[in-house]
């Protein structure tokens, strides 16, 4: 009898701890993020070059999350997608529009530079769905599904955008756009899964690991990718890392709808490797005869930067270094990225 009385308080304590843990996980799972709008600008001017992937601009609207399994159309659509072990607690949609500009190294020449990459402009829009699984405080994951439609060629307005900026900034005009890829539509289906692991967390300071894997299938880009980020800072936002314009994952996170807004910031470093099957901006037009170069099947990115996460605004600065993308490329490329996000 004495042992029974001793075991009872212990059983109550263990049971209470389990209930508290389940309530904590449940409360985190039900925390939904609000909408946001962001603009991202990338350029190689930060390393004093004007070549290859030389300019990118992208606007993204991310709708607020809804509870998965609900009756709205986002929940119904995401329910119909393959789960692959995911137990979603929240779902949302987003849209993006953007423009990328690609040039060879010598932008003063008017003749075709057969051994350098083609001139190309790319104007596109995308629609994406996201599902989040908040399984525990130390482990979360995000599925991102995206449909991208665009146009490659003169109608993408790459020449007009680049030379307008050059005129405003009193830079020499780019003279070889007569050799750019011809007009044709572009389509890509993209998917990425990102995991978020809390390595350590205490007094607001955290260290997180965010590995990811994904793929793109389409006439603009076909590739498979694996990579990850490591970030450390104070009051890390509950998103899935900082991305660049050509990352599969467009945007994530946002202001918590049922929590008080906080300020924080972090440093991050990441890497991604791609196995490339097709790159229209190197391989040329699919439906027309055009300039092209032989692309490398393996391409890698290194990136590092800093992010400020405010109550309403997020600001990030990133440096990206990219391995050689085509046969005959003399040097690796580098460019900078800055993004501003407003969340409500």
**Residue 22 above 90 pLDDT?**
no
pLDDT at 79: 80
pLDDT at 136: 62
Token couple for 221: 């880009």
3-state secondary structure of 34: coil
Read off φ and ψ for residue 213, nearest 5 degrees: -150, 140
Across the chain, what does the average pLDDT equal?
Answer: 89
Give mean pLDDT, residues 236-263: 90
Residue given tokens 């449940």 in the structure block: 26
- At 29, the pLDDT band (50, 70, 90 cuts) reads very low
**Residue 24 above 60 pLDDT?**
no
Give mean pLDDT, residues 3-21: 42
Handedness of CA 154, 186, 39, 52 (dihedral sign): negative
- At 187, the pLDDT band (50, 70, 90 cuts) reads very high
Judge contact between 248 and 214, C-beta under 8 A: yes
Judge contact between 240 and 252, C-beta under 8 A: yes
Give mean pLDDT, residues 207-224: 97
Q: Which region among 5-19, 165-179, 199-213 has the lowest average model confidence (pLDDT)? A: 5-19
Domain boundaries, the chain: 35-343
Cα 299 to chain centroid distance, Å, stands at: 17
Give mean pLDDT, residues 226-231: 97
**Residue 9 above 50 pLDDT?**
no
Judge contact between 181 and 284, C-beta under 8 A: yes
| CATH tag for 35-343 (out of 3.30.470.20, 3.40.50.1240, 3.90.25.10, 2.40.128.140) | 2.40.128.140
The secondary structure of 141-197 as a DSSP string is: EEEEEEEEEEEESGGG-HHHHHHHHHHHTTPPPP--GGGSPPPEEEEEEEEEEEEEE
3-state secondary structure of 280: helix
Query: Within 10 Å of residue 274's Cβ, how many Cβ atoms?
Result: 24
Judge contact between 314 and 9, C-beta under 8 A: no
Give mean pLDDT, residues 245-259: 90
pTM for the structure as a whole? 0.88
What is the distance between the alpha carbons of residues 16 and 33, in angstroms, rounded to a whole number? 29
pLDDT above 90 coverage of the chain, percent: 75
Handedness of CA 30, 256, 124, 287 (dihedral sign): negative
Read off φ and ψ for residue 338, nearest 5 degrees: -135, 135
The angle at the Cα of 238, spanning 236 to 241, to the nearest 5 degrees, equals 75
Give mean pLDDT, residues 125-152: 90
DSSP class of 295: B
Judge contact between 20 and 73, C-beta under 8 A: no
């Amino acid at each position: 009898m004495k042992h029974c009385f001793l075991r009872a308080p212990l059983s109550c304590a263990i049971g209470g701890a389990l209930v508290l843990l389940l309530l904590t996980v449940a409360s985190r799972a039900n925390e939904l993020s609000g909408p946001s709008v962001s603009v991202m600008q990338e350029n190689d001017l930060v390393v004093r070059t004007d070549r290859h992937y030389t300019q990118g601009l992208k606007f993204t609207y991310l709708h607020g999350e809804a509870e998965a399994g609900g009756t709205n159309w986002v929940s119904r659509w995401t329910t119909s997608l393959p789960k692959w072990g995911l137990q979603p607690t929240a779902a949302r949609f987003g849209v993006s529009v953007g423009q990328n500009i690609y040039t060879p190294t010598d932008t003063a020449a008017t003749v075709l530079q057969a051994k350098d990459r083609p001139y190309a402009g790319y104007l596109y829009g995308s629609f994406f769905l996201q599902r989040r699984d908040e399984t525990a405080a130390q482990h979360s994951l995000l599925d991102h599904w995206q449909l991208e439609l665009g146009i490659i060629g003169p109608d993408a307005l790459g020449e007009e955008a680049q030379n307008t900026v050059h005129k405003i900034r009193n830079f020499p005009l780019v003279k070889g756009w007569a050799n750019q890829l011809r007009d044709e539509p572009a389509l890509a289906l993209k998917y990425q899964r990102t995991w978020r692991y809390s390595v350590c967390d205490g007094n607001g300071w955290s260290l997180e690991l965010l590995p990811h894997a994904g793929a793109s299938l389409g006439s603009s880009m076909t590739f498979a990718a694996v990579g990850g980020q490591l970030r450390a800072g104070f009051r890390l936002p509950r998103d899935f890392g900082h991305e660049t314009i050509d990352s599969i994952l467009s945007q994530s996170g946002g202001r918590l709808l049922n929590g008080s807004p906080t300020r924080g910031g972090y440093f991050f470093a990441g890497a991604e490797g791609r196995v490339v099957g097709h790159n229209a901006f190197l391989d040329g037009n699919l439906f027309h005869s055009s300039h092209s170069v032989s692309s490398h099947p393996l391409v890698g990115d290194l990136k590092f930067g800093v992010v400020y996460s405010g109550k309403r605004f997020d600001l990030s600065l990133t440096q990206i270094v990219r391995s050689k993308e085509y046969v005959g490329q003399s040097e690796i490329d580098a460019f900078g990225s800055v993004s501003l996000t407003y969340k409500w």
